[in-house]
Each structure stands twice: as structure tokens, then as C-alpha cells.
Structure 1
């Protein structure tokens, strides 16, 4: 990556004027979606980054954003970070990425603005943030994730309840009648569990089926081992499930492994559906049916909202911004 790449080189590569590049990068002015895509492609191909020192002298801002997620080792957050990185670059910003471990103290420090002083604003995906303690937000802040907070800042999410309802309804439409769920949690602020469990229960009710807690074993985390342990417990039931909906693809991978090791067919004996549509879901055995959040839209909404917030547009920003999702049907269910 060359350090001397500027607007001129990006403009030449994209076949537009320097003013158009500037407008796209700053998300100002008028331009078509095709022009935007062409400029963003040139920005990414050339590795264009704005001159942070010059910008700070000119505007008082550094153009540095921070993305804070629970774990970068989780495929969903790693893929989401890649999308946010590209969107930040498209806005002419530099992105720092930090893992909080889901610790409430670390999340609170970030929400209160106790970060690198160069950071203009933060995109935070919290697991255990205390809204009361974070009431006096100390930095332009945008929140990502399932839990809708009471903080005075934009929140970017998808319709998790609707997505879970669709995934469960899909299994029921395939003739499954003992649909289990892996992902129920009992800890405070478990919004992923609460919203997706609600959608699962709505689909059961619509089909005239009752909710059985035995078909929803509690899990401590959303990793492969957690999915495998829950799947083993489900298969030990007197009436085991004929389908399983997992709240994360990683858990679905663990569940698939256990079903295979028991010598059962997928989806013949047990259908499996996941959530996240991470890259690995295309290569499981068999390929995983899963809910695909629009990660690109999540990133675009989050970065756009943060840039506008840094520019002082808080009052005009809706409290909740929804990205889309779709069910990707593959061979597992």
C-alpha cells in the first residue's frame, strides 16, 4: 500500500472528478449508486487513506473511528469488522478495532469515551453494558446488536425476532414437529437469546405446538463446543428432536458434528438451521441452512450514523435503524 495515494489517483482509477471522490468519501453531494460503487472499489484497490494529521489541523477531527466487538475470534464479528473497515475507508476514515471480551467494565469505558484521544467516535457491539452507568455517553456513539438500549444514540440491528420466526417456520413447513432450539441463555442482558427465542416460540404457537423447555437447553456461550453439548443433551431425550434451530452458525457446526457422530442423517433424521451465514456455513457437511443478516447494510448504517453524529446530526437520527436479513436454504434443513 502506497502512502502517497490521494484523491487524484482515486479519481483517475474511478473515472470521475476529484470533487466526486471527495463527495463519495464524505457522503455529501449528489451521485449515483453506480458512481459510489466505482469510487469505493477504487478506494479499496488503491488503499487510499486520508491524511489524518492534515485533517485534524483543518477540521479539529482525526477521522479515526473505533469498532469494539465482544470477540474477533467469533467468525460473525470478524466478518462484520471487515465490512465496517471497508465502509470506514469509503467515508475517508481510519478504523481501529478492539475486542471487549463482553466484559461490562470494558464496554462502559468505551461508551464513556475513555479511549484513544484520537478517536472521533465509536461503534460498540455490547453484551453486558449497563445503560444507567453509561447514561452520560462521553463520545459520539453508535450501538450494534440485538439489545435495544435506552442510551441517547442510534442503534443498528436486524429484526431478530422476525428472522428466528422465519427460520422456525421453515422447519415446520418441512414437516418437522419436534423443533428444538440451541441458544437459550439465562444470564442478564442476553438479548440475542431473548429476541430469537421469542421468534421461535411465535412460530411454534402459530403452528399449534406448545413450547417445551426440554427442547431449549441452556448454553453458556455461542461456540461450537456449546452447540455440541446441547445437541448431545437433546439426543438423549426420550423423544429427541427431528430439527434444531441454532442461534449462531458456530453452535450449528457443533450440532452437525454430534448428529453425524451418532450416525444420524442430516436432514433426514435431524434438520439443522443456523444464524449468521458466516463463510464456513457454506462448507459444513452438509452445507448449512442459515439466517443471513445483511452485514454490509449493518456496517453501512453504523458508519453512516456515526459520521453524521460526529458532524452534529444527533437530533435527526432515528433511534433504531434496521438492516435486512434473509433465510439461505442449503442442504442441512
Structure 2
């Protein structure tokens, strides 16, 4: 089965071997206060920062999911308020979640999915944090983080769930980066990641929130010892370490995905039956491609693909019946894209 579903998506085939190794090495039977676990966690973080070119003074933490990271941002970094800037369903979900937790101190600005993110003209001093979905999977758009000026009075948090491990990111343009591993990192769902700047850590100390099992300061103090505040997903951390040992540096991966995205988009543009959902090439996602057609053609291509052993991603929200989505993640191989092209002819 070939899957282009945009998350959870295809895992690296080597994961099957790594699972067996985890059992043989006995790491799954070690408690999370053991030296064996701490050594493994330390190595995983070191490899993760090295392969993704994360600055040495930025810290990496593991959680259960990107959704838990939303919660941590709301509880531990937000005293005055948060501003959410989004153009799609997942950015809005992040806002809705913060609104449930923070009430009227969560604010939002929406923009059209064909537009670049607006440059803020509002006073950011009344917010602790600006929350931006860097890669909006629902409509296959992305934000160029280099276009966003740093805010002196507020942290910037990026949700990079659909791009981390696939696209080279300028980490210095944000203070909090959050994601899950089930997309470009080629792993099963069940592990979240936070990457935080020194400024984020200092702000968390100023807020001083310590009411929850996953309060950020509690997490940080444990990770300083290469431990976790609660029993972690040891297997997922081990698998991430093994994948980081295997993959190329992020600049190599990013160049390949961008080239493949461009090639496939040109292929679609040559077809009269299909069109790309996003006309504005400057805001198209590099890792998720949304293809539009009449509802009957969408239904037919899904069935044709299924018969060929290919799983396509469904459309999302308003485009559920008139689009399908394609993941352009590192674990997906070039020959699989060629098989998809054959199916779409």
C-alpha cells in the first residue's frame, strides 16, 4: 500500500527493524529515571538538534502531542493574552483551544488563504505570545517565517507539525516551535516536540506557572537532568533517535522536497481535469499539496487510486468533496510519486 495521507502518514520502513532493536536492547524495560534512559534521551536530543540545525542555546522537549503543546503554551506562557493569526482550520482550532482555557484574553486575526500573512500594525505589548500555524494542512498553505518581524514585547510560537523534519526552518525567527512526529519525521503518532528559545524560557520563569503536571517549568527542570516529569513514550523517543541517525541533514532533505513539490505541481498544472487549490505559488506548502476538481472526478480518482493500492488524503472542511491532498514527506519515495502520476493521467 502506498499512502499519501497527510498525517498520520507513511513511516520510514526501517522503523520495523528499530522496533525489534528496542526490544532486544532492553530500553523498553528501563524506567525513565534510569541512566540508560537518560543517556538515550540525551543522545536523541543531541541528534535532533544536529540534524535539524537547531541553535545550541535552544532547548528541545518531548510531550505527548502537538495538542498538548498548545495546552502548555496557554498555561505556562500566557499571562496577559495571546494573539492567533491564521488562514485555516488548524490555526483556528489552536485559537479555539486557547479561548476555552484563557477566555477573553485570547484574540485572533484571520487572513485569506491566498494571501501572505499580514504584517502586524497592532500593539503587541498587550500579548504574551503570537501564535502562528506555519504549515496549514487543511488548505495546503505555508507561512514564510522570514517575513515575520520579531516582536519586542511578545514571544512568537509556530505550529510546525506538517513541516518539521521536512523543511529547513529559521529557528531564530521564533521562540516556541511545536509539532508532532507523525508527518515529516516518518514515525507513528504519539510523541510531541517543543523547541524553545532562551527568551521563551525566561518568559516562562517570569510567568511562574506551576499548577499542572505538564507546566513548562516542571518539564524544563526535568529535561535539564535528561529526565521527564511523567512517564514518557520511551519507544517513540527511541525510534526518533534511530530515525535521526538515519536521515540526512535538513538542508539536503528540504532541497529534495522543494524540488519534488515543484515537479509535481507542474505535472498537475498540465492536466485539464485537475488544478491546484492554491493559485498563489508563494504561499503553497512545500509538504502538503491540495488538488481541486469537480466532486464526481474526486470520487472517481479516489476509487481508482484505491484499486491501484494508493491512499490519497481527503479534502478538508469546505473542500472535503472537491479536493484531495497529497503528502510530500521525506519517507515517501520518488517512485511512489511516479506511481501516483500514472494513476492521475
Give the TM-score band, short-chain normalised.
0.3 to 0.5
Q: Which has the higher contact order (CA 8 A, sep 6+)?
A: 2
TM-score (normalised: structure 2): 0.33
Q: Higher Cα Rg: structure 1 or 2?
A: 1
TM-score (normalised: structure 1): 0.34
